[in-house]
Amino acid sequence: MGGRDENSLRGSTAGGGAAGAAGRGMKLLLLAGTGEAQAVARALAEKGIPAVASLAGATRAPKPTGLPTRIGGFGGDEGFARYLEAEGITAVVDATHPYAYRISIRTAKICKEKSISYVQILRPGWVPEAGDLWTEVACEEDVAALVPEGAVVFLATGRQTLDRFSNLGHAELICRQIDPPDRPFPFVNGRFLVGRPPFSVEEERELFQRLGVDWLVVKNAGGAAAMSKLVAARELGVRVAMIVRPPQPDALKVASVAEALAWVDGL
C-alpha cells in the first residue's frame, strides 16, 4: 500500500477528532467527483473539520458537496503546489474517479514532496460473474478490433475520451453523458444520449433492448451504483468491452469512506 502501515488506516482518535484537528490548524483538501467524495464531504462538514472540496468541472451542474468548493484545474504541477501552500493544506483525501489517474499520481507525488498527508479512496474493481461476456482491453482504441461491422455500441465511458473511438467507423455509436451536448457528435456514425445516473437494472435493460445494443463499453470503475448496466448486459447477453484500470499512485490507499474517515480522525 505504500507510505504507511496497515494500522495507520484506523488511527487513534484520542484527543483528536474535529476539535483536535481544528486546534492543530489542520486543513483538508478533498479531491471530489465521486459518490465516495460526497459521503466524505458530508461527514467532514458534520464533524466541523476545516476542509475544501475541489471539482474538475467536468459536469456543468455538480451536486453540492456541503463544503466550500472550488471548480476547475490548478494550472499544472506548479499551480497545484502553490495552491497547497497558499491555502495551508495539511492533508489530502483523493476521492477522484479511478480513471483520473493523472490527477492522483500528481497529487500523491507533490504531497510526498511537501510532507502533506495523503490517502486515496480506491474502490474495488468489478469482477466478471457467471453469464458475463466480458473482454478486457487496455484502452479505448482496442475496442474496434472486437466489434463486428454494423454493431450497435453503447459507450458508457463519457464524452471526455470520445475521440479515442475514431477507429470505430464501422459501427453505430451511442455515447451517454450527463449534460446536454454543447457540440455535435464528433463522428457521423454516432449520437449522444443524455441521462443522469443512477439507473436501475430495469431501466438499463429496457434501454439496451430499445436501442438494440450489441456491445457495451465501460471502464472498470467499480462500485454498486454503476453496476446496473453490467447486470442488464448479463441478462440480455450483451457483450462487454471492459477497459482495465490505469496505474495508480504508489501511496496509501483505502477502499471505503469509513476507512478514509478513520484516517482523517487519526491525523
Q: Going residue by residue through the chain (267 aa), what tens digit of pLDDT does each one get?
A: 333 332 233 232 223 344 434 434 799 999 998 999 999 999 999 999 999 999 987 666 677 788 999 999 999 999 999 999 999 999 999 999 999 999 999 999 999 999 999 999 999 999 999 999 999 999 999 999 999 999 999 999 988 899 999 999 999 999 999 889 989 999 999 999 999 888 999 999 999 999 999 999 999 999 888 899 999 999 999 999 999 999 999 999 999 999 999 999 999
Q: Does residue 101 share a domain with residue 61?
A: yes
Residue 129 counted as domain residue: no
Q: Does residue 120 share a domain with residue 191?
A: no
Domain count, the chain: 2
Q: Does residue 63 share a domain with residue 144?
A: no
Q: Does residue 11 share a domain with residue 98?
A: yes
Burial 136-166 (b: 16+ CB within 10 A, else e): ebeebebbbebbeeebbbbbbbbbeebebbe
Q: Does residue 186 share a domain with residue 256?
A: no
pTM of the model as a whole: 0.83
Residue 154 is which amino acid? F
